[in-house]
Chain A
Amino acid sequence: MLTWLDQRTGVVTATKDFLTEDVPGGASYWYAFGSATLFAMILQIATGIFLCFYYAPSTATAWESTKYIIEKVPAGHFVLSLHYWGASAMIALVAMHLLQVLLWGAYKKPRELQWIVGVFLFIVTLVLGLTGYLLPWDLNALLASTVAIRIAGNAPVLGPMVLHLLQDGDGITTLTINRFFGVHVWLMPAALVALVGAHLAIFRWNGPAGPPIDEAPKLKPGRFWPDQMFMDTVLSFGIFVLIVALSTFSPVPLDDKADPNNSVFVPYPAWYFMALYALVDIVGSLPSWLVQTASLFATIIGPTLLIVLLIVLPFVDRNPSRRLTRRPWVLGLTALIMVAAIGLSWYGQNNVVTGQLAHNLIGPGAAAVSTSTAPSTPVTTTAGSGGASSSGGSGGTAAAPAAAGAGAAVYGANCAGCHGATGQGQPGVFPPLAGNPVVTGDAKTVIHIVSSGLSGSVTVKGATYNGQMPAWKGTLTNQQIADVVTYIRSQWGNTASAVTAADVAAVK
């Protein structure tokens, strides 16, 4: 049977050729990042194809069909979440793969072209992430993409042309969704597959680079099949399990439908653009005479230079040695850029996003507090429309409206990070406040927990939590504690009595 097939197609011989390959110095998990990236790509293509069965790109249908996938399609939310987390995994793996090749000096002669193709693969992957971000057409999709498009539009000389080309016209319209869709599902995947083909073909020509040493490996070569393939599969399997777990326990959210007139919602970027996001924020707080030049550098010139640097690296760094100790400049610069990227991402996540997310879900009242850490971000608190949130808004009637606004601000700045913007908590880590009988029970208990903290195991709605709730009495005033307690007792369906600063003083 196999002989019959092979005589007519050569498929068995081709597979044998493919599997028979020496691995310098023996098989290693260090060599598995490339194949794990390839696995993530296959996962993205498979889930993406199936999402195409339901998704419809237009302003009238993009959000509706995404919602339909989440709510009506059997296993639809899971498949969409696999695609969402798979995207994160793919970008992380591409970055790790690139970083490893960089550290090991594997881009050096004769692998310059393989490296350059790899850099283009990195860019294509980021473009896929960026274009995919618009497609759900929720508030975050629209605003995050608006920011990205406007940044591109600020490029010197070509900016306005690029802006119109990306948008397909004067504004972000139904044509923009179509354009991003075309780029996301056809142009970039086709480029990706073609480039991966080239990447692998060149890889087979040169063979694996092996460990970062200059002499031939002393250990005898290992086998690709089954030794290396086994390790590749184990890593891919681990990543698959992680993606499945994330998709199950943290499925992809969908905000309210995109509304170009919404001036309250604050968009948040994907984590892989967090460093750029933080940079935009920091640059915005510079002295005003510097802002424009600095922004241009931070958002356009800097990233472009970085890409150019990556592309020309094998020609600039002509030191043939691959030993780590003999390449202080390249490794030092890499370390510097990595530290900067991680530091900026950390800054973006902690100082900008957390506060602003609370703003989205709680309302403009909280914005006054959260934006104090992000002075450059203009937050228009027009019409007290409750932040156009996807959450319940004010459900309770027990609290006075003024206290609810102040309580919302305190909550957004201090509590939402753990207990969630809608009091939903975080499964297994932070207990929910919405529908929590302790919160709506005796006010004295609630005040005591907020002011003095809580540790040890608690059970809420059948789930056990064992975290550390900090004591807030040193940080918040009695009035603030009263406001926030009143707030949590009257939100998200909770309807318990309000408390006053005097009540707080009595408990303390």
Chain B
Amino acid sequence: MAHAEAYQDPGTPQEQSRRQFMAQATIALGGVIGISLAIPLVVSLVPSADASNDAWSGLTPAEVDMLKKATANTPVKVTFDVHETNGYFGAVDSEQFVWAIRASDEEMMKARPDLFQGPNKMPYPVVNMGFTIFSPLCPHLGCRYAYIPAQKKFLCPCHGSVYSVLGVHEAGPALRGLDPLPLRDYQGKVQVSWILYQANTPAHVVIQVG
């Protein structure tokens, strides 16, 4: 270790005041470097604005045929392409799916009254073109649930939430039933809107559309 001989001498008053200035200037300059470096570095982590995806995704005729195979007690998995921006790969079509069940407003209103009235009322129609489509994400914590044909139930593999074919929460830790997504016939084209809802809340809180 150094002997630090110089530090034994407090120095003249001028030296002391000079040192005080140097200490403050060192801290100030160091702070300026730190802040002017920290700003661009932190800013670079902000997700870029043009990374958002299309709000509506179209179904091909084959996919519409698949949708139409759904019956009142047998849901079908409908796949479609979501047009999204995948970082430096740019715009890509990534395959996505939803579950579709044939249903009427009366049936749904009976099975899932909370979607039609009260604080959890959906801002869009739950039944469209005679179908209800469900987001494939379990409302508990976002895993993809599976359909078990033998029991006619949806079962989530992660924590065991169970839902009826109409999306009624029947068992497990989830706080709400399956999330219906908007479906529409827009200028002759069937379209689905992909909406991400917050997990593990009783209410539908939108995180992201598209």
Contacts and interface: CB of A to CB of B under 8 A. Distances in A.
Contact of A233 (B2, B30, B37, B88): B30
Contacts, number: 96
B44 A204 contact: no
A244 B4 CA distance: 36
Interface in A219-240: 220-227, 229-230, 233-234, 236-237, 240
B43 interface: yes
Main secondary structure of the interface of A (DSSP, over half): helix
A204 B2 CA distance: 7
Interface residues of A, number: 43
Contacts of A68: 87-88
Interface stretch (A46-54, A139-147, A366-374): A46-54
B22 A20 contact: no
A112 interface: no
A223 B26 contact: no
Interface stretch (A4-12, A72-80, A275-283): A72-80
B161 to A, nearest CB: 34
Interface stretch (B45-53, B70-78, B122-130): B45-53
B41 A79 contact: yes
A233 B29 contact: yes
B206 interface: no
Nearest to B41: A50
B6 interface: yes
A65 B86 CA distance: 11
A226 B89 contact: no
Given A43-B37, A64-B88, A226 B26 contact: yes
B44 A207 contact: no
A23 B6 contact: yes
Query: Interface residue tally of chain B, by bracket?
Result: 20 to 34
Contact of A226 (B23, B41, B46): B23
A230 B46 contact: no
B33 A74 contact: no
Contacts of A220: 6, 9
Contacts of A227: 19, 22
Interface string A21-59: 111000000000000000000010011001001101000
A76 B33 contact: no
B88 A221 contact: no
B40 A82 contact: yes
Which one of A65, A75, A225 has the greatest number of beta carbons of chain B within 10 Å? A75
Contact of A76 (B2, B6, B37, B44): B44
B36 interface: yes
A68 B86 CA distance: 11
A73 B19 CA distance: 43
A61 interface: yes
A75 B43 contact: yes
B4 A21 contact: yes
A235 to B, nearest CB: 10
B88 A78 contact: no
Given A223-B19, A227-B22, A233-B26, A240 B33 contact: yes
Given A68-B88, A72-B50, A222-B6, 5 more contacts: A50-B45, A65-B88, A75-B43, A236-B29, A240-B36
Interface of B: 1-7, 9, 19, 22-23, 25-26, 29-30, 32-33, 36-37, 39-41, 43-46, 48, 50, 87-89
Interface of A: 17, 20-23, 43, 46-47, 50, 53-54, 56, 61, 64-65, 67-68, 72-76, 78-79, 82, 204, 207, 220-227, 229-230, 233-234, 236-237, 240, 244
Give the top 7 A-B pairs by smallest Cβ distance, nearest first. Answer: A68-B88, A230-B22, A226-B23, A75-B40, A21-B2, A226-B22, A64-B88
